[in-house]
Amino acid sequence: MSGARVPLASIKSITLRAGRDTRARRGAPIPQLQCIGKACEVYQPDAVQCTNMGDDGTGNMQWKTFPEGFGLEKST
């Protein structure tokens, strides 16, 4: 890993996996994927793939997830 910054707009897709942690440059690792909510009682995905759908015009990147119906929330 080079440690160089990567512009978010240049990331075409990302796969998040349950049971794996992030690699942070400045903070402690956090889980890549954590299922929360009622749906998790029925199904917890092993992986979620997110595809960059582009900028919404206000500088925010829009992401489509697969399996569909699983959204992304900010980590704290």
Is the alpha carbon torsion for 7, 73, 28, 17 positive or negative? negative
- Residue 73 is predicted with a pLDDT of 57
- Tally helices (H) and strands (E) across the chain: 0, 3
How far is the C-alpha of 49 from the C-alpha of 20, rounded, in Å?
14
Domain boundaries, the chain: 9-67
pTM reported for the whole predicted model = 0.72
Q: What is the pLDDT along the chain (76 residues), one digit of tens a residue?
A: 566 788 888 999 999 999 999 987 788 999 999 888 888 888 888 999 999 999 989 988 898 888 776 665 555 4
- Tell me which H or E stretch contains 62: strand 61-66
